[in-house]
């Protein structure tokens, strides 16, 4: 809708609120409303009425792994209450386990093959930036731990690696939810969303890698490739928060060198587990590549050149 601007005196400009919107949310004379500025857009909101985004679905017949994926996406999209109809004990176990990864969500009721989960607070009192930083640090820890456990042939650590991925999922899911609910329309939002998705994928890749590394004895070449991929990831992380031309150049040079070495090693390795591990390391390398290439526009050193 379009509204005309009313000029009051020489400095004040007024725009009337839509009548239906004011009535719907109980806005009355003297009430305070929130006005947030986002470039050429003003977002007007009121805390008087909370909008609860609800979803009711029947997942009967759906594989548990897809139920897992569905819950993650529904949380990330910003739903506040989800009612799920299920038809197997495995699905219910999946739902219960997945809710543990959804910050601010709890299972509220289970009865007659129906499970209700919802946010226990309308707005989590958690800041986006610290959680994103925690997600990065958690994946960096996975990278270092994976390499160390492989070199020491610590199969117990590699076998229990999925515990580390739990925190990565929890932090990344929250960040994706926050982007969808609180940052819609901001410049660069879609790139940020993609990078957080990619960060969660990197965590999954390290978890998968640990599974294969425990099936083989340490190989010097595999360790070297993993160490190189970890280095590119750490440089990408440093670049994400403090972008400089030198870091971008360093990461790209390392990326190309390691990629060539990985391809050369495919020809020398014979064990299937080693080959699979090497392919996952290449996958990680290609994933972490995005953390500096997709943020090159943040380089202040390029301004005016």
Same-domain pairing of 147 and 90:
no
CB atoms within 10 A of CB 111: 7
- DSSP assignments along 24-82, one per residue: HTT--TT---EEEEETTEEEEE-SSS----EEEEE-TT--HHHHHHHHHHHHHHT-SEE
Same-domain pairing of 151 and 294:
yes
pLDDT for 185:
64
H or E segment at 208? helix 189-213
Instruction: Considering only CA atoms, give the Rg of the chain.
Output: 24
Is 1 a domain residue?
no
Query: How many independent structural domains does the chain possess?
Result: 3
Same-domain pairing of 241 and 192:
yes
Output the tens digit of pLDDT for each of the chain's 305 residues: 778 888 777 778 888 888 877 777 778 878 888 887 766 777 787 765 555 689 999 999 999 999 999 999 999 998 999 999 999 999 999 999 999 999 999 999 999 899 999 988 655 567 899 999 999 999 999 999 999 999 999 999 998 888 889 999 999 999 999 998 887 666 678 899 999 999 999 999 999 999 989 888 899 999 999 999 999 999 999 999 999 999 999 999 999 999 999 999 998 888 888 899 999 999 999 999 999 998 888 887 777 65
What is the span of the domain harbouring residue 182? 128-302
Backbone dihedral region for residue 44 (phi beyond 0: left; psi -120 to 50: alpha; all else: beta): beta
H or E segment at 211? helix 189-213
Q: At what angle do helices 189-213 and 272-288 cross, to 10 degrees?
A: 160
pTM: 0.82
Same-domain pairing of 152 and 285:
yes
258, 285 in Cβ contact below 8 A?
yes
pLDDT for 64:
96
Same-domain pairing of 148 and 295:
yes
Structure tokens at 120: 């226990």
Same-domain pairing of 12 and 74:
no
Q: How far apart, in whole angstroms, are the C-alpha atoms of residue 174 and residue 102?
A: 7
Is 266 a domain residue?
yes
CA count, 13 A, side-chain hemisphere, 171: 24
Same-domain pairing of 214 and 250:
yes
């Amino acid at each position: 809708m379009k509204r005309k601007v009313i000029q009051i005196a020489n400095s004040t400009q007024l725009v009337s609120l839509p009548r239906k919107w004011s009535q719907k949310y109980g806005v009355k004379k003297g009430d305070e409303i929130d006005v947030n500025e986002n470039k050429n857009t003003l977002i007007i909101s009121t805390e008087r009425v909370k909008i609860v985004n609800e979803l009711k679905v029947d997942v009967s017949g759906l594989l548990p792994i897809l139920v897992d994926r569905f819950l993650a996406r529904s949380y990330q999209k910003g739903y506040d209450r989800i009612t799920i109809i299920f038809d197997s004990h495995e699905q219910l176990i999946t739902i219960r386990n997945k809710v543990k990864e959804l910050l601010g969500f709890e299972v509220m009721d289970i009865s007659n093959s129906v499970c209700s989960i919802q946010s226990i607070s309308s707005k989590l009192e958690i800041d986006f930036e610290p959680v994103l930083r925690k997600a990065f640090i958690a994946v960096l820890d996975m990278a270092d731990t994976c390499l160390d456990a492989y070199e020491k042939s610590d199969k117990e650590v590699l076998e229990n690696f999925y515990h580390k991925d739990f925190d990565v999922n929890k932090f990344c899911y929250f960040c994706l939810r926050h982007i969808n609910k609180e940052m819609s329309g901001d410049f660069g939002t879609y790139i940020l969303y993609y990078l957080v998705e990619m960060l969660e994928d990197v965590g999954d890749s390290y978890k998968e890698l640990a599974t294969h590394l425990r099936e083989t004895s340490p190989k010097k070449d595999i360790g070297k490739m993993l160490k190189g991929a970890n280095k590119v990831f750490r440089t990408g992380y440093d670049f994400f928060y403090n972008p400089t031309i030198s870091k971008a150049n360093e990461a790209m040079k390392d990326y190309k060198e390691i990629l060539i070495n990985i391809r050369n090693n495919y020809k020398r390795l014979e064990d299937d587990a080693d080959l699979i591990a090497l392919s996952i390391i290449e996958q990680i390398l290609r994933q972490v590549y995005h953390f500096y290439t997709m943020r090159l526009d943040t380089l202040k050193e390029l301004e005016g050149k």
